[in-house]
Amino acid sequence: MGCCHYYEFTESGDDVFSVDASAIKFGPGSLREVGDDADALGIRRAALFTDAVVGSLEPVRTVIDSLRAAGIDFEVYDRVRVEPTDESFRRASQFATEGRFDGYISVGGGSVMDTCKAANLYATWPADFIAYVNAPIGEARPIPGPVKPHIACPTTSGTGSECTGIAVFDLLAMRAKTGIAARELRPTRAVIDPTCSYSLPPNVVAASGFDVLSHALESYTALPYTMRARPERPRLRPMSQGANPYSDMGCREALRLAGLYLERAVADAGDHEARDGMMFAAMLAGIAFGSSGVHLPHGMSYSVAGMVREFRPVGYPQDEPICPHGMSVIVNAPAAFRFTASASPDRHLDAARLLGVDVRGLTGGDSGEVLAGKLTALMKATGMPNGVGGVGYGEADIPGLVTGAYLQQRLLKNSPRPVDEDSLGIVYRNAMSYW
């Protein structure tokens, strides 16, 4: 890759990147094929994971019909919690253990797919809950071998969880979001039917769309893989390897699609071209960040979501305060990219160009402002909260937000510009409001 300055080899950095991807099926009507897919994977008794809302909707009915048609025995678990916790992961794992399933199917958003990954893991390789959880909160113990086949069917155009080996949850005792990250958790097959997104409310499309956009932006601007230390053994190379030429391909196209379609997909549920485009972008960004990893906006989002007090956005369950994942990410993003731009100005400017900004006559020195400006305009146009303050936080919350974010070392290490607690405080302060 001598042609690409961004990936110049360094003395102690890695020279190799690897690509692991889920098998993918994409298109309207693809959910009708899940039964046959499960049969092809040798699944005879499946656990079907969903949540109480999605469980009563068309996509789950379609999957159930296709499982019946293929003669596959199954049990439904619809008690997945939106924004899962260690407690809800444990309950799901217990269901999976008792059910003696030989395969898993998840139909829903990121919470459903992530819960299914965790249940599959703990039922296949039982251990103390904290064993596989990311360090420093957990022990980050390697998973001993493969888990059971998992077919993941996303119903929102957001998390990209169908293509990653990451399962995110709230650890209740610490009021902190963390996760389990391992190649073994990546679903065997993703089945993506874009018609699932046609009935989503605008606010859900906006929040999940910004998650997609930020996956692509963060993966594109992540520390290059050539600057991450070479692993001691090949299999110790982290899943989040840093930006690499393969992830760049997905990021560029995901950014172009998000620039074209995000506003349109939010404004008009009948604009199927836009909603299909965002679903495809979510998949591309999921593949990209599954190989390169995200950094600062996601690292900062965990405490924004975890410490929420009164925020109850429309389009989401109203029984308890919640800051949906995509919102908790994007409220940090303009300030975060202003901070990281100096580490790779040309990349930040290119990202703005891909999102549709006319960058003629601009230089790398403008890139942080230009990219932040574009993000802010998109947030305003789609009804996102006005920064971290718009979710209900103030100056006095900054130390707590910093403490939560600083725990996310796996993500912070992927930032192109080194981050310490002081700089996190500055970025949160700059993220309080944008307009």
- The residue to which tokens 């399933």 are assigned: 101
Nearest CA to 349 out of 335, 333, 362 is that of 362
**How do the residues of the chain divide into helix, strand and coil, expressed in percent and rounded to 5?**
55, 10, 35
CA dihedral 242, 245, 250, 254 (to 10 degrees): 80
Q: State the nearest-atom distance from the C-beta of 163 to Fe ion, in Å.
A: 12
Find the shortest distance in angstroms from Cβ 205 to Fe ion: 15
Least spacing, CB of residue 264 vs Fe ion, in Å: 21
Task: Report how far residue 137's alpha carbon sits from residue 404's, in angstroms, rounded to the nearest whole number.
Answer: 11
Shortest Cβ 298–Fe ion spacing (Å): 6
Interatomic CA distance for residues 334 and 390, integer angstroms: 14
Part of the chain binding Fe ion (CB under 5 A), chosen from 143-151, 203-211, 218-226, 406-414: 203-211
Between 211 and 263, name the residue whose CB sits nearer to Fe ion: 211
Omega before residue 136 within 30° of 0, cis:
yes
Three-state SS letters, 177-231 = EEEEECHHHCCCEEEECHHHHHHCCHHHHHHHHHHHHHHHHHHHHCCEHHHCECC
**Least distance in angstroms from the C-beta of 329 to Fe ion:** 6
Site string for Fe ion, 251-280 (x = CB under 5 A): ------------------------------
Give the tokens for residue 23.
Answer: 């098998």
Which residue number, 179 or 259, has a Cβ lying nearer to Fe ion? 179
**CB-wise, 60 or 336, nearer to Fe ion?**
336
The correct pick among 14, 33, 193, 211 for binding Fe ion (CB under 5 A) is 211
Nearer to Fe ion, 212 or 227 (CB): 212
Half-sphere exposure of 249 (CA within 13 A, CB side): 5
Residue 157-196 contact track with Fe ion, rule CB under 5 A, x = bound: ----------------------------------------
**Residue 150 vs 295, nearer CB to Fe ion:** 295
Q: Are strands 103-108 and 150-154 parallel, antiparallel or unpaired?
A: parallel
Check the CA dihedral 400-406-408-411 and report its sign.
positive
- We find the least distance from the C-beta atom of residue 266 to Fe ion, in angstroms, to be 17
Taking contact as CB under 5 A, which single stretch among the options 94-102, 123-131, 172-180, 211-219 is the one that binds Fe ion?
211-219
Smallest distance from Fe ion to CB 215, Å: 6
Closer CB to Fe ion, residue 156 or residue 226?
Answer: 156
Q: Which residue is nearest to Fe ion (CB)?
A: 211
Identify which of residues 114 and 211 has a Cβ nearer to Fe ion in the complex.
211
Strand partners, 26: 192
Please identify, among the stretches 169-177, 206-214, 371-379, 406-414, the one whose residues bind Fe ion according to the rule CB under 5 A.
206-214
Q: Supply the minimum distance, in Å, between the C-beta of residue 98 and Fe ion.
A: 31
Give the pairing type, strands 176-181 and 166-171.
antiparallel
Asked if residue 114 binds Fe ion (CB under 5 A), the reply is: no
CB of 327 to Fe ion, least distance (A): 11
Residues 6+ apart with CB under 8 A from 59: 31, 107, 153, 155, 193, 196
Shortest Å distance, C-beta 25 to Fe ion: 22
Q: What are phi and psi of 366, to 5 degrees?
A: -90, -10
Of the pair 107, 300, the CB lying nearest Fe ion is at: 300
| Angle at the Cα of 281 from the Cα atoms of 167 and 275, rounded to 5 degrees | 110
**Least distance (Å) from Fe ion to the CB of residue 160?**
7
Closest to Fe ion by CB, 159 vs 226, is 159
How many Å separate Cα 356 from the centre of its chain? 23
Contact region with Fe ion (CB under 5 A), list: 54-62, 208-216, 225-233, 249-257: 208-216
CB-nearer residue toward Fe ion: 211 or 276: 211
Q: Which is nearer to Fe ion, 162 or 211 (CB)?
A: 211
- Total residues contacting Fe ion (rule CB under 5 A)? 1
Instruction: Enter the tokens of residue 10.
Output: 């360094």
> Using alpha carbons only, what angle is made at residue 394 by residues 311 and 423, rounded to the nearest 5 degrees?
115
List residues near Fe ion by CB under 5 A.
211
